Structure formats: C-alpha cells, structure tokens
C-alpha cells in the first residue's frame, strides 16, 4: 500500500523543462503560476559552470517566469556551499562569468581546487599548479565531470577529462557536486528544509550518461534524443508508486510510461502535473494552499 506522503518541495530542471534555450516551454509559465498557488516550495536547479545566478535570473525573467534569486540552485551554488562548509580557500578554475557566484570567498593562498568548464585554464602550467596543491592535501571539487560539450567547431573537451587527470595524478577522487550527484540534490533541498521523501524532481532527462544510482534520484537510462520532460522522484518510496499506478496514469493523463526508465513517466506536458488530480489521488498530497510563494 502506498503511504500517503505529503509533497512539500519540487525541484525543477531549467533547460529543457522550463525553457529550451531562449524560448519558454509552452504552458510552463501557466503551470508555474499554478504551482505557486500551492504551499509547495520550489527550487530551480541546473548544471552550469558559466552562468551566474544573475545571468539565469535575467534570462528567466525575460521569458516571463516569476522567480527569485534564492530559488535558483546551480552546480556553482553547490560548489560554493561545499567550499564554505569545508572552510577552504579555493583556486577557482572556472569561467569568469561564474565568478560572481563566489563573491566573498577568499581565494588567495589557496588550499583547495574548484574546477568547472574553463578551457582557458586547462593548459599545462595552471593544471600543474592545481596538481601540486592537491598533492599537498588540498581537496578537489568538481562542478561536474562532463566528458565534452558541443561547440560551433565540433565537440570540445569538458572538465571531466581534466578532473580525471588530476584524480589519477594524485590518486585522490574529486568531490563532484553537480547533477546527477546525490550531493547536488541534497544541497538543493537543504534550503527548503525538506527531506527527499517529501520532494519530487522534474527534469527532461537530458543528463550525462554517467548517471549514478546511489540514491535512485534519476532513472538510469534516459532518452537523450527526447526533449520531453520526465517526472522522477527523489526517493525510492515514490518509484513503486508510479509503477503500480502506471495504467491509471496512462488513461487519465495521456502520459506514456517509458520502458527504459522504470519508476518515471514521460510527460507530454510539463508542470501541469501539479494541478493534476493524479497527484492527489495517487498518494501524494499537496498541502492545502496557504500563502502563494
């Protein structure tokens, strides 16, 4: 029997779910408004190594989404959070545009290395400097370990290979803080005060191939070609719930469960799910509306 669990927080992926590049996903603004009408806390999450929160905020506001800065949680935020927790002074190998997110953090006489997508820093002298710090015991914090990304002139090396190089040279693993690492989701939830069992993540499944299954936060195989939003759950408790109710979900909502991702559903429409009777009926209750957020 599925336990009735109150849904208290929602993590919403940005690119691919709320918007695709510079265009809003149709219906998303409306869906967000309806979401605000509930008492659910919302966080907008994204892996980025070169957009500061301000940049993201501007882009989203231009697309007419009502969002405040403290609702945005990026992989850069996660990195900053970790740096603060460890009380270290990082050597920041990140894009210049990401620096505002580290404002106020001490960086001289570094005793840690933070590494994001920053090709301008990935040449020998700088990496060697980082290597020497790490060999002396400094922690290595990686925003994420993407293998490569697309540029106009083709594929280009991401931060992952250089993180791997440093890990090998120093025989110490990096702490990766971006999606789909558990740390990322837990940190994003921390500011809501909710536990994973009380939260749901909505994403488009366009996550790197190396998804970890440590916490059943995301399905293991994702349809990269598809840009349609997935609904996944943050806790293993929710997975059996979706599976048991698959048939009803199909007929009631027109959603198609995707074979390769047990425990998640492919939605043809994003976010209206919150207003869908489905949620209330299938054991996830929305708290009665109090103040809109």
Q: Which residues bind other proteins (CB under 8 A)?
A: 119-120, 122-125, 127-128, 131-132, 135, 147-148, 154-158, 160-162, 164-171
Minimal distance, residue 68 CB to other proteins, in Å:
37
Minimal distance, residue 121 CB to other proteins, in Å:
8
Q: How far out from the chain centre does Cα 201 lie?
A: 9
Radius of gyration (Cα) for the chain, nearest Å? 20
- DSSP 3-state of 192: coil
Q: 196 near 235, Cβ under 8 Å?
A: yes
Q: Name the residue nearer to other proteins (CB basis): 93 or 216.
A: 93
How many Cβ atoms sit within 10 Å of the Cβ of residue 261?
Answer: 18
Q: Name the residue nearer to other proteins (CB basis): 120 or 247.
A: 120
Minimal distance, residue 136 CB to other proteins, in Å:
10
| Token output for 83 | 């740096």
Q: Name the residue nearer to other proteins (CB basis): 149 or 191.
A: 149
Minimal distance, residue 156 CB to other proteins, in Å:
6
Buried b or exposed e, range 49-61, using 16+ CB within 10 angstroms: bbbbbebbbebbe
| Token output for 182 | 């558990």
Closest C-alpha among 284, 150, 160 to residue 224: 150
Q: Name the residue nearer to other proteins (CB basis): 160 or 203.
A: 160
Q: Name the residue nearer to other proteins (CB basis): 85 or 125.
A: 125
Q: Name the residue nearer to other proteins (CB basis): 146 or 199.
A: 146
Minimal distance, residue 144 CB to other proteins, in Å:
13
Q: 175 near 140, Cβ under 8 Å?
A: yes
Minimal distance, residue 244 CB to other proteins, in Å:
37
């Amino acid at each position: 029997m599925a336990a009735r669990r109150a849904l208290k927080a929602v993590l919403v992926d940005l690119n691919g779910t709320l918007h695709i590049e510079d265009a809003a996903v149709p219906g998303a603004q409306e869906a967000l408004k309806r979401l605000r009408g509930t008492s659910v806390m919302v966080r907008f999450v994204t892996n980025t190594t070169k957009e500061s929160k301000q940049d993201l905020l501007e882009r989203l506001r231009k697309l007419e989404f009502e969002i405040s800065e403290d609702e945005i949680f990026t992989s850069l935020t996660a990195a900053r959070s970790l740096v603060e927790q460890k009380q270290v002074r990082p050597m920041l190998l990140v894009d210049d545009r990401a620096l505002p997110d580290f404002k106020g953090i001490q960086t001289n006489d570094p005793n840690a290395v933070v590494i994001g997508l920053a090709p301008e820093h990935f040449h020998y002298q700088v990496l060697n400097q980082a290597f020497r710090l790490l060999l002396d015991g400094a922690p290595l914090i990686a925003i994420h370990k993407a293998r490569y990304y697309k540029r106009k002139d083709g594929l280009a090396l991401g931060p992952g290979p250089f993180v791997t190089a440093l890990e090998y040279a120093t025989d110490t693993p990096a702490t990766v803080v971006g999606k789909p690492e558990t740390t990322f989701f837990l940190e994003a939830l921390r500011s809501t005060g909710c536990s994973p069992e009380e939260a749901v993540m909505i994403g488009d499944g366009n996550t790197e191939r190396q998804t970890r299954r440590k916490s059943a936060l995301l399905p293991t195989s994702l349809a990269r070609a598809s840009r349609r939003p997935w609904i996944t759950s943050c806790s293993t408790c929710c997975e059996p719930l979706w599976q048991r109710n698959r048939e009803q979900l199909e007929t009631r909502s027109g959603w198609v469960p995707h074979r390769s991702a047990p425990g998640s559903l492919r939605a043809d429409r994003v976010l209206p799910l919150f207003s869908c009777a489905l949620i209330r009926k299938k054991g996830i209750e929305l708290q009665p509306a109090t103040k809109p957020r």
